[in-house]
Chain A
Amino acid sequence: MLTSNRKTKEKVFFIGIGALTILIFIPLFHIIATVLIKGFPVIAERGTKFLTGTLSEGGIGPAIAGTFILTFLSALLGLPVAFLVGVYAYEYPKSTLGQWTKTLLQIMIEFPTILVGVFVMQVVAVPMGTYSALAGALALAIILTPYVAVYTHEALREIPSTYREAGFSLGLTRAKVVFRILAPMAKRGILTGILIGMAKVAGETAPLLFTAGGLYESYPSSVTKPVGAVPLLIYQLVQSPNPVDHATAWGASLVLLAIFLGIFIPIRLSLKEVRL
Chain B
Amino acid sequence: MNFAIETVNLNVYYGQNHVIKGVDLKIPNRGVFALMGPSGCGKSTMLRTFNRLIELNEGARVDGEVRLFGENIYSGDVDPIEVRKRVGMVFQYPNPFPHLTIYDNVAIGLKLNGLVKSKEELDERVEWALKKAALWDEVKDRLNDYPGNLSGGQRQRLVIARALAMKPEVLLMDEPTANIDPVGTAKIEELLLELKEDYTIVLVTHSPAQAARVADHVAFLYLGELIEVGPARKVFENPEHELTEKYVTGALG
Contacts and interface: CB of A to CB of B under 8 A. Distances in A.
Contacts of B159: 166
Nearest to A275: B148
B97 A163 contact: yes
A170 B98 contact: no
Interface string A163-178: 1111011111100100
A103 interface: no
A185 B147 CA distance: 13
Contact of A181 (B92, B97, B148): B97
A180 B83 CA distance: 20
Interface residues of A, number: 22
Interface string B70-89: 00000000000111111011
A169 B163 contact: yes
A168 B93 contact: no
Contact of A172 (B58, B92, B113, B148): B113
- Most chain B CB inside 10 Å of its own CB: which residue of A94, A160, A168, A276: A168
A184 interface: yes
A162 B91 contact: yes
A170 B113 contact: yes
B162 interface: yes
B212 interface: no
A164 B93 CA distance: 13
Contacts of A187: 99
A163 B109 CA distance: 13
Contact of A170 (B56, B58, B162): B162
B98 A276 contact: yes
Residues of A contacting B: mostly: helix
Contact of A165 (B81, B91, B98, B112): B91
A165 to B, nearest CB: 6
Nearest to B86: A171
Interface in A232-276: 275-276
Contact of B112 (A163, A172, A276): A172
A170 B97 contact: no
Interface in B108-165: 108-109, 112-113, 148, 159, 162-163
Q: How large is the interface on B (under 10, 10 to 19, 20 to 34, 35 or more residues)?
A: 20 to 34
Contacts of B56: 161, 164-165, 168
Contacts of A185: 97-99
Contacts of B10: none
Contacts of B53: 165, 168-169
A166 B81 CA distance: 13
B59 to A, nearest CB: 10
Given A94-B58, A276-B98, A169 B108 contact: no
Interface in A1-59: none
A171 B109 contact: yes
Given A164-B56, A166-B91, A172 B81 contact: yes
Nearest to A171: B85
B95 interface: yes
B91 A170 contact: no
Nearest to B99: A185
B51 interface: yes
A171 B163 contact: no
B166 interface: yes
Contacts of A184: 99
A169 B81 contact: no
Interface in A100-116: none
Nearest to B52: A168
A131 B187 CA distance: 70
B166 A163 contact: no
A165 B94 CA distance: 12
Contact of A163 (B84, B88, B95, B163): B95
Contacts of A276: 98
Interface in A109-143: none
B97 A166 contact: yes
B9 to A, nearest CB: 25
A169 B89 contact: yes
Given A94-B58, A165-B53, A169-B84, A180 B112 contact: yes
Nearest to B55: A168
Contacts of B82: 171
Contacts of A94: 58
Give 8 closest A-B pairs by Cβ, nearest first: A171-B85, A170-B109, A169-B89, A171-B84, A162-B95, A166-B95, A185-B99, A176-B112
6 contacts: A162-B93, A163-B97, A170-B112, A170-B113, A170-B166, A172-B112
Interface of A: 94, 160-166, 168-173, 176, 180-181, 184-185, 187, 275-276
